[in-house]
Structure 1
């Protein structure tokens, strides 16, 4: 996986020639360490955010208020020397506020495009389910294709591009459920969870007089992040691993407890996330455990339980995923 000057990726990124496994580990470790200065005791959540960034996906953080959803997004943004915009989703937010609008310039006697808040490397979509479905739909093209179309004209977003959205799954008043098409755009959905007693006590002592976000300084430039993305994309996926990923996705479409299974986009994003996870573990190849470890975070928010599935348990989606992992044959490496 040694990079060469001529090596490029399907995204057009040209990785740094100095990139190697040691540099990848050092730079990703620096990002995680920077975020950990703000988010204590949440290593899995921090890793998931980094996986989404390097796999060119998008992250949905769903949890109760006050557990650090927005703080995680802001800490990730502060750790990278890239453009960052935060959009506070409210009922009166309009699609044009997100994507931008065409405004008539009386001097030039022509319309000029005024960019919306989506034009940034990292966009924090705070409380995304508080805006109407019409406004939420303004994100669909941007999250899938890295561009927005306004008045028939296409405008491309900067690279890399990551949306980190937050939402409260319990408060229903004044919120709108994310449609299936919107949920499917997110590579992963995670929950922060409450901190343990030691981490919460440490937070009381450290944040009494200072905001830890003020101490964070960027540890990587945008070009460094692009090189990390290119390095992770070069991780090898054997044909049997690809077949295993497809088998896991197809199993969700035939499971009796599921009304809606995983989309082909979900399969693609599962493999992309697995590549990054393998690289973070110091491997240049994907193993079955990479897929199964990521399956709940990548698949769960895309699945819809069948009618009556809740009778079998309080968490039918989790149970269905566990059952699928258990009954899907794991590929075995051929003997030499």
Structure 2
């Protein structure tokens, strides 16, 4: 991508979008900090996913401001947001919508489709692992095709459309783990941890005093769609793409060239969609960091969020206390760095 120097007059559309993206990180941090304290890395990764057009799975204990963070993002981007609390009795129609019998102005009865909460810009699927697979699957078409089908009729979803789903890692009794096919549709799996002591003091002080300042919208849905196209146009050197593919391929056990530790600890590795998410996320990260080219550091920084939900470890790894994060780190250390042609 050849960007000209930004001048007060005669800026191209690409230059204008690039400047907006460069300034967005600090502006968004400033607005979200009115409601959410800390979690800077999580906020950065959420922004990368939003600018790349991907969905996120957010894992964390209750009370870590997952819902507040999603709602704050929706306000910053002036987007419609809906929240679904997933429960064991939730039905697919509760997500997609249903047809009802209604009368028109001439008192003639007919079927009318009533849209469900999936018709929004940001859908917060709260505790998605607490609903049966049939209801979980209702999100598959929406996430992949940006549409839903009801009684054979297709309905396009609003644009842009993001699914930010949360999982509670505790109280796993009575839950329904997401199948690998659905997990693969999430670009990132983000883990929210407890705040530091200083941040917790700030949260308690702020939330027990006066109401926080209102969040000022900075961007529109149209801006985000422009960001999506700009991010996809960011160039990537072939050796960087090959490096991403090699990292993901190395996570697959019992394949030619697979490291011994993967064969020992992994039951199932990452597929092709992992490399696609890795490159697309690296492009968005590069732009947010003020660059129009992808580096190896972009790939390494996003490898854990991309592979965390795509690598299935075996019982031996669990018995030895091996985590996916440790396997990802070893993949980085054992995979040869790219060399420019």
Relative to structure 1, the CA distance from residue 199 to residue 149 in structure 2 (aligned partners, 3 Å threshold; closer, same or farther) is same
Greater Cα shift, 168-177 or 121-130: 168-177
**Paired position in structure 2 for 1:9:** none
1:295 matches 2:292? no
Q: Secondary structure at the match of 1:81?
A: coil
Separation in structure 2 between the aligned mates of residue 18 and residue 57 of structure 1, nearest angstrom: 24
Match of 1:278 among 281, 286, 292: 286
> Which has the higher Rg, Structure 1 or Structure 2?
2
| Offset of residue 306 of structure 1 | 2.6
Relative to structure 1, the CA distance from residue 2 to residue 332 in structure 2 (aligned partners, 3 Å threshold; closer, same or farther) is closer
Gaps of 5+ in 1: 5-14
Q: Secondary structure at the match of 1:129?
A: helix
Q: Secondary structure at the match of 1:134?
A: helix
Separation in structure 2 between the aligned mates of residue 205 and residue 93 of structure 1, nearest angstrom: 37
The 8 Å contact of residues 82 and 124 in structure 2, kept in 1 or not, is answered as yes
The 8 Å contact of residues 3 and 20 in structure 1, kept in 2 or not, is answered as no
Relative to structure 1, the CA distance from residue 2 to residue 19 in structure 2 (aligned partners, 3 Å threshold; closer, same or farther) is farther
Separation in structure 1 between the aligned mates of residue 327 and residue 78 of structure 2, nearest angstrom: 41
1:260-314 deviations in whole A, cap 9, x for unaligned? 1112111111111111011111111111111111011111111111342223x32
| Offset of residue 21 of structure 1 | 3.0
| Offset of residue 120 of structure 1 | 0.6
Relative to structure 1, the CA distance from residue 93 to residue 286 in structure 2 (aligned partners, 3 Å threshold; closer, same or farther) is same
Q: 1:227-306 counterparts in 2 under 5 A?
A: 227-254=226-253, 255-256=262-263, 257-306=265-314
Tell me the number of residue pairs that the alignment of Structure 1 and Structure 2 aligns. 322
Q: 1:65-84 counterparts in 2 under 5 A?
A: 65-84=62-81
Relative to structure 1, the CA distance from residue 152 to residue 22 in structure 2 (aligned partners, 3 Å threshold; closer, same or farther) is same
Q: 1:221-232 counterparts in 2 under 5 A?
A: 221-232=220-231
| Offset of residue 160 of structure 1 | 1.1
TM-score if structure 1 supplies the norm length? Answer: 0.90
TM-score if structure 2 supplies the norm length? Answer: 0.89
Match of 2:84 among 83, 87, 102: 87
1:106-149 deviations in whole A, cap 9, x for unaligned? 44543222111101111111111121111111111111111111
